Structure 1
Amino acid sequence: MERRKFIRSGAGLAAGFFIVPPHVLGGKGKIPPSDKLDIAAIGTGGKGMVNLNNSWNNGSDNIVALCDVDDRMSAEARKKWPRARYFRDYREMLDRRHRKFDAVIVSTPDHMHAVQAMAVLEHGKHLYCEKPLTHDIREARKLTEAAAKFKVVTQMGNQGSSGDSTRKIEAWIQSGLIGEVRRVHIWTNRPVWPQGISLPEGGPPVPAELSWDLWLGTAKQRAYHPAYLPATWRGWVDFGTGALGDMGCHFIDVPYRALKLAYPVAVECSIGAVWNGFFEEAYYPESYPPSSKIHLQFPARGNLPEVELIWYDGGILPKRPKELKPDEQMGEWDGGIIFEGSKAKLMAGLFGRNPTLLPTALMQEASLPAPQRPLVDGAEEGHQQQWVRACKEGYGAYTSSSFDAAGPLTETVLMGNLAILSYMYREKEGNQYVYPGRKQLLWDGEAMRITNFEPANRLTGREYRQF
């Protein structure tokens, strides 16, 4: 007999179940663990499909509503879950007439994360939002505050935070195994899509399957062009967050946790230039640069020293550590992390995979402390399942990337983009452009303000287009 029918029939009392523990019935605001979670999704293609599959878990829970502005991207999901109601506009899906679900997954382009996530929170639904949490710094702060206000279970989609490798690195570094860490290098093979390019000219008709106005959402009006989607939106400033947004929440999360980092106090960068001719530098402010190197400075924290975090993308790499033999691979194919400690160095790949002490002989000699933070089964499937289980338990249940952790991390990642966009910033003096943004930016994290270059503060947030 189903649990609800069992209770309603009175059979529970007849059988002697006079006291039922709250963790069984769920209690106020909680879903009993014996019940299935009813899940809705905004954005169903690509990563959205991955999140749906891992949350659904072969039918362990229910997919009851799907929303996508592009019927082509949603075709697979609609076929797999034909009983789920389908919407084009997320606002209609969240309307009280249709709001028959417990939790929502947001897997849309970056520029739409904040407005959709905020709407979910305001309706009191549990939320899983893809990384980066937001497009802008101010949006991340607002979502962090809203998650605490509305008391729902949250999770950002940086699945490595739930994996064993991140936990190991935290334990090793916080035990003092490699000594004091004052510098961290992080690199990625992104972007693997076009960047440092001009806006496309012209535009074919909008495909019948696509609602272009809804796809644009908060971004300023422009003509449709296939150069913007799918996936390639990542390289456009109005839609995506570049290489940093794509991989920063995965890579930077590892030292951010292990070194107990908070807001940086300064940031500077250099970027790869694009040339149209001899001494004719191209200026494409609508697109992120083809490569960048970013220096983030963090202050001392208690008995922990100040730290410099250096980010490299677009094919730029840090110098090989002298402790690594010439024929040993540095990092992995898609990037890596190197912690420089006063006693030794530690190298890892994406999500902190394959953490290795340098020189590698130390792996056989050292006594490696055991991780302490909770582990889930599998960094990918387990990350979504950890969120599903927490939704059933209710607000306060542990998730490895709840917004109180994911929000500040996202702000830090987006500080790199703030430096990039400030570096690209130009002002015209007479017939020439000058580059006032090519300087170190000093950051007041609590106030969310650059203190030495006012134009950069315009880039911490944006005005939304009405759609």
Structure 2
Amino acid sequence: MMNKINRRSFQKTAVAASTALPLFSIGKPGQSANEKVNVAMIGAGNVAWQSLEGTKDENLVALCDVDSKMFGQHAKRFPAMEQAEKFTDFRVMLDKLGKEIDMVCISTPDHTHFAATMAAMERGIHTFTQKPLTHNIWQARTLKRAKDRYKVLTNMGNQGHTFNGIRQMREWYESGIFGQITEAHSFRDGPKWNGNYFQRPDTLPPSTDPVPETLDWDLWQGPTGPNPFNKLYHPKRWRGFNRYGGGMFGDWFCHIADAPIWLLDLYEPVAIEAEKVLGGNEWMVADGCRVRYDFERRGDKAPCTFYWYNGDPKLFTPATPKDWGWGNLPDAGTIYYGTKNNGFTDERSNNPRLSSREAAIEFKKAGYPEEKYPRIAGGPILELVNAVKGGPEPGSNFDYAAPFTEIMLLGIIAVNHGGRIEWDSKNMRITNRPELNQYLKEPVRKGWEYGEELWS
């Protein structure tokens, strides 16, 4: 017999207490914090190992994957996969086992994140979704509404948001060591064509290849189909195609830009401009870009300009700060320009430092600010497991992850269509180029409609 937390009892308690207590303070009365959580996986191969690792001490109830060979990819490392019930269609799995599943981990390509996440949330299941959270802005806003409606615990898989460094950087910033930060520059090279994640097709549109016997290609496409199969789409290289992924934005923005967006409250830009773009077309993501975001004053924070760069480092890397004292600038990370000091965080929004070595030494001698933000261990999946058992709400829950993802998606629209976008965040509208508003919400095929009821 399975040990399980009664999800619906949790929901009722959370809803009743929501006006008096924060959600993360609610636990089921009389229930052991050590009781195991019943977990299901949507996506069983490749990056799903992270979810399997994070839930290895829980009950693995079910696995779902559109490619049957993925069920064996991590089975040696995680023997519980052998006994878990297996499905091809997550909708079938949730219909059959939804009452037994407490938490679901979604590790699919970007274009199916939203449908799988909504399907779980509307059944009252706590949900972990790999980054990026969604493939368009309407989806991101809908998931934030869904969190409010269904009162479930959520988390997105940007691992750096669980690291000590991002917390320390925020403590430094709030201590005043940087003064006002008026510019931040996040950068990384790539996409690396012909590498592990990206490859150019010989022709566009991509040619039609035979569908592997183990793959349900129709289900893999989810809301975007139908489209002919090409061997570059599956199992990993979908990320370079606009229909399914978001290139380096989808791959790394959620890691590198996590710290500046969280520290500086960079959620509502007034303008986004693709200042430089190399390559890219209807099918393929760009080879490189420099995108500028303009933010007005946010409370006591000064107006700020944020830049994103990816591509050939010779063409798409910010200038090294004049006071940089640590050798060569790392290949990826974020540079912060403050009125008192400049700073840096790495590609996981971790390992903060002051740009000036001398200033860093003096800062350390004076004593770092006291820890204000609790440190956690185990990564974002275990963070959600602990929350389900009554611990604190995860830091990258959808109240944060959805507006964060929206910033990423605005950059993709700017790169794909060029030039400057003037953004009305309150009304979710591009005001200077209304023809681009069609890209805020993508069409979906019949059977894959989710979330419309949350807007009525």
**Does TM-score exceed 0.5, indicating one fold?**
yes
Tell me the residue number matched to 2:406. Answer: 411
The answer on 1:353 being equivalent to 2:350 is yes
Mapping for residues 256-275 of structure 1, pairs under 5 Å: 256-274=261-279
Q: 1:65 to 1:257 in 2, by over 3 A?
A: same
The answer on 1:179 being equivalent to 2:179 is yes
Aligned partner of 1:74: which letter? F
Structure-2 separation of matches of 1:112 and 1:317? 32
Structure-2 separation of matches of 1:201 and 1:47? 25
Tell me the residue number matched to 1:237. Answer: 242
Tell me the residue number matched to 2:443. Answer: 463
1:250 Cα deviation (Å)? 1.1
1:51 Cα deviation (Å)? 1.6
Tell me the residue number matched to 2:432. Answer: 452
Larger Rg: 1
Q: 1:364 to 1:62 in 2, by over 3 A?
A: same
Tell me the residue number matched to 1:329. Answer: 328
1:352 Cα deviation (Å)? 2.3
Structure-1 separation of matches of 2:207 and 2:446? 24
Given that 1:139 and 1:461 are in contact with CA atoms closer than 8 Å, whether structure 2 keeps it comes out as yes
Structure-1 separation of matches of 2:438 and 2:353? 42
Mapping for residues 67-466 of structure 1, pairs under 5 Å: 67-78=64-75, 80=79, 81-96=81-96, 99-192=99-192, 193-194=197-198, 198-199=203-204, 201-274=206-279, 284-315=281-312, 316-325=316-325, 328-331=327-330, 333=331, 335-366=332-363, 367=366, 368-377=368-377, 381-393=378-390, 397-423=392-418, 438=419, 440-466=420-446
Structure-2 separation of matches of 1:339 and 1:173? 10
1:33 Cα deviation (Å)? 1.2
Deviations 1:416-439 (A, max 9, x none): 01111222xxxxxxxxxxxxxx3x
Given that 2:98 and 2:123 are in contact with CA atoms closer than 8 Å, whether structure 1 keeps it comes out as no
Work out the number of aligned pairs and report it: 413
For the residue of structure 1 that corresponds to 2:278, the secondary structure is coil
Aligned partner of 2:47: which letter? K
Given that 1:195 and 1:288 are in contact with CA atoms closer than 8 Å, whether structure 2 keeps it comes out as no
For the residue of structure 2 that corresponds to 1:465, the secondary structure is coil
1:223 Cα deviation (Å)? 1.1
Structure-1 separation of matches of 2:31 and 2:152? 12
For the residue of structure 2 that corresponds to 1:321, the secondary structure is coil
Tell me the residue number matched to 1:27. Answer: 28
Q: 1:353 to 1:215 in 2, by over 3 A?
A: same
Given that 1:195 and 1:289 are in contact with CA atoms closer than 8 Å, whether structure 2 keeps it comes out as no
Structure-2 separation of matches of 1:458 and 1:393? 41
Q: 1:201 to 1:235 in 2, by over 3 A?
A: closer
Could you tell me the TM-score, scaled by structure 1's length? Answer: 0.84
Could you tell me the TM-score, scaled by structure 2's length? Answer: 0.86
Given that 2:3 and 2:38 are in contact with CA atoms closer than 8 Å, whether structure 1 keeps it comes out as no
Structure-1 separation of matches of 2:181 and 2:171? 14
The alignment-based identity, stated in percent, is 33
Structure-2 separation of matches of 1:47 and 1:97? 23
1:99 Cα deviation (Å)? 4.2
1:32 Cα deviation (Å)? 3.5
1:102 Cα deviation (Å)? 0.6
Structure-2 separation of matches of 1:70 and 1:135? 21
Structure-2 separation of matches of 1:71 and 1:271? 42
Tell me the residue number matched to 1:432. Answer: none
Deviations 1:392-447 (A, max 9, x none): 118xx421111101111011111101111222xxxxxxxxxxxxxx3x11101121
Structure-2 separation of matches of 1:213 and 1:32? 43
1:47 Cα deviation (Å)? 1.2
1:98 Cα deviation (Å)? 5.8
1:463 Cα deviation (Å)? 0.7
Structure-1 separation of matches of 2:317 and 2:183? 15
Q: 1:360 to 1:196 in 2, by over 3 A?
A: farther
Aligned partner of 2:410: which letter? M
1:145 Cα deviation (Å)? 0.7
For the residue of structure 2 that corresponds to 1:346, the secondary structure is strand
Given that 1:330 and 1:336 are in contact with CA atoms closer than 8 Å, whether structure 2 keeps it comes out as no
1:122 Cα deviation (Å)? 0.2
Tell me the residue number matched to 1:16. Answer: none
Given that 2:277 and 2:415 are in contact with CA atoms closer than 8 Å, whether structure 1 keeps it comes out as no
Aligned partner of 1:248: which letter? F
Structure-1 separation of matches of 2:118 and 2:32? 26
Structure-1 separation of matches of 2:125 and 2:271? 36
